[in-house]
Amino acid sequence: MRSRLTVLALGTVAACMIMTVGGGCAQEQGRGKPNDYAALPAATRLLTLEIDGPQAPGALEALTALLQSDDPVYRAEAAQTLAVWASMNDACLGNLVPALASNDPLVRGIAQATFIEQNPHGLGLLLVNGNVVKVPANLLKALAQLGDPQGYVDPAAVIMPMTDLMRKHFDGTPEEAVLAADVLARTGDAGARRVLVRIVSTGEGPVLAKAARACVRDDMELGPTLLPVAFQNGPLTRRAVMNALVIRPDPRLKNLPIKGLTDADVTVRHNAIRALGNMDGGASPKELAALLSSKSEEKADVLRALGAIGQPAADILREYIRRGPESEQLEFTAILALSAYADRDDIPWLTNRLRSPSKYVRAAALTALGRIANPEAQAAVVRATSDSDPLVRAMAAKALGQIGTVYGAQQLLVMLNDPDSLVASMAAWGLGHMAYAEAAPALMKLAKQAAPVGAAPGRMGEVQGWPQLAALEALGHIGGDASTAFLRERLAAPLWLLRATAARALGMAGQASPETLKALETAQQDPVNIVRAEACLALQALQAKAPESGPPAKPAEAKPAEAKPAEAKPAEAKPAEAKPAEAAPAKPAEPAKAN
């Protein structure tokens, strides 16, 4: 299945256009008198904290304390809730550090697995020199192969030995039973299945809502049976049902989010829209299309969902744009939603949008033109490289790389010298995308420029606004002896971020020479965990391409992980339809998640 609401993950332009406001994380803890969570029984406390969220005074402290509980069910549920909070907003990521740095494999495994489940890209989290960095899940698995304590822990493998202890909760209060069933559902436990069926049939309130979310776990297969029953209850349970369908969309249950579109509860409506979009074309776009002609306050969500549905919704989006969206934000959101499915016939009107007074509309139009990748748009895109706004110039650079002509490559070589780091990085990305070999010397020069000491992107592989990283990745795409030799040298760069990117680029370059294999084997001894992981993956990729090079190298013995807790930053968790703000350097925006 495509990443959930993939259209939102359009990189730079979406990052600059989407601003999250609303409830928060750390900064909210000082407001108001802390709630007396300690007075509640542990199971009730966990369910209450899950509902209250990170913005409630004292919630973060109370939940973090439960990571030290003697009961594995409570530890697991506390780690899971912290991970859900972290997935809601990047500013909450620091709150997950105690779980990620825990010595308890159950806590680490549940925290990592939950974050991977909850975020639309399937990314995990890694502590790197005190920074919390989003990484592909395969990096965590590579660390596990290297014996690193921050490597991926299979929750089921950790839970299985504790099954009998956790099952004792089935005989306790409904709160205790549903928490144990939620944890054991990760193993497909038959007892957990029976508990969930019983609670959905007889439960209410937070207990029922918890059961509704648990019944869609992969090994349960209870969603088609139990979610329609649970949806008939109060708003809390209807929210839980829609949340479950956002995270694990099921086309068999498309009638539930269709009902949710007219729900009196705004959270149910928002997540019903997202759930329909996440069904990978399994839902008809007509119900969502009807909302575009109404006074719905969720039109931006509707446009994104239509973009995620794909080709069946493309003409609906075109018609909406033709009629004239009610605001600048809705216009660029509609263009972004259509961009993955735009075609040659859309070039004329998209080119006209490059004259829009809104830089966001101009940038969105360039995103669509780049996705079309037809040389007929080249002249208009080249003109946009002189735009006064760096966001527009950056998206023009990306579009030129996607169009992929020699003339466009010459323009990109000039743009490597743009004073704005976002533009320079996207010019490097474009040259790498088209594997323009003549650009290698210029990219090497760019990659040698000084990078901010101690800086780190929020996501590994994020190159927007990082010209040095974009240049290294571009060299990996270009490949060849000179590029590969340069990348091997950068494995000794002073900054871990450069070393890790160079390792990954060597895997892309595909040259499994003895010198490269040896350099990557040595990099598996790097003092920074993420460099070791990238080197491990690159080595495996090269060995897979060159089986004649000999047996796979054994993973190097891992050194102690550098896992200093990161300071939690102030956060704001609920998405709102606010006018976008500029971001520099820009980071890829996360697709909309369940509220």
Is 145 a residue whose pLDDT tops 70?
yes
Average pLDDT over residues 209-236: 89
Range among 247-251, 396-400, 547-551 with highest mean pLDDT value? 396-400
Q: Which residue has the tokens 């007396």?
A: 36
3-state secondary structure 544-579: HHCHHHCCCCCCCCCCCCCCCCCCCCCCCCCECCCC
pLDDT exceeds cutoff 90 at 568: no
Predicted pLDDT of residue 78: 98
**Res. 47: pLDDT tops 80:** yes
With helix as H, strand as E and coil as C, how does 270-313 read?
A: HHHHHHHHCCCCCCCCHHHHHHHCCCCCCHHHHHHHHHHHCHHH
User: Which pTM value belongs to this model?
Assistant: 0.83
Do residues 499 and 491 make contact, with C-beta atoms less than 8 angstroms apart?
yes
Three-state SS at 374: coil
pLDDT at residue 551 is higher than 90: no
Cβ atoms 33, 57 nearer than 8 A? yes
Check residue 453 and give its pLDDT.
Answer: 64
Residues of the chain with pLDDT > 70, as a percent, come to 85
- Is the per-residue pLDDT at 592 higher than 80? no
Rounded average pLDDT over 20-34: 48
Q: Is residue 136 over pLDDT 80?
A: yes
DSSP state of 134: E
Residues in CB range of 485: below 8 A, 6 or more apart: none
Instruction: Tell me the per-residue pLDDT of 430-457, one tens digit each, with 9 for 90 and over.
Output: 999 999 999 999 999 999 998 776 666 7
Q: Which amino acid is it at 392?
A: V
198 pLDDT band, cuts 50/70/90, is: very high
Residue 46: which pLDDT band, with cuts at 50, 70 and 90? very high
**In the prediction, which pLDDT does 573 show?**
34
Confidence of residue 276 (pLDDT cuts 50, 70, 90): very high
pLDDT in tens, 509-532: 999 999 999 999 999 999 999 999
CA dihedral 441, 445, 447, 449 (to 10 degrees): 180
The pLDDT of residue 119 is 84
Confidence of residue 90 (pLDDT cuts 50, 70, 90): confident
How confident is residue 283, by pLDDT bands cut at 50, 70 and 90? Answer: confident
Kindly tell me if the per-residue pLDDT of 470 is higher than 50: yes
Alpha-carbon distance of 79 to 57, in angstroms, equals 19
Average pLDDT estimate for 301-325: 94
- pLDDT digit string, tens, across residues 347-371: 999 999 999 999 999 999 999 999 9
If pLDDT is split at 50, 70 and 90, which confidence band does 129 have?
Answer: confident
- Predicted confidence at residue 30, as pLDDT, reads 43
Q: Could you give the C-alpha distances from 241 to 198, 226, 248, 371, 492, in angstroms and in order?
A: 17, 10, 10, 35, 50
Preceding amide of 105 cis, omega within 30: no
The pLDDT value recorded for residue 25 is: 63
Residue-averaged pLDDT of the chain: 86
Mean pLDDT of 270-290: 90
Angle between helices 328-339 and 314-323 (to 10 degrees): 150
Average pLDDT over residues 33-38: 84
pLDDT > 90: percent of the chain:
74
Given a cut of 80, whether residue 27 has pLDDT beyond it is no
DSSP 429-489: HHHHHTT-GGGHHHHHHHHTS---TT---SBTT--TT-HHHHHHHHHHHH-SHHHHHHHHH
Q: Identify the band that residue 280 occupies on the pLDDT scale cut at 50, 70 and 90.
A: confident
- Place 18 in a pLDDT band, splitting at 50, 70 and 90: very low
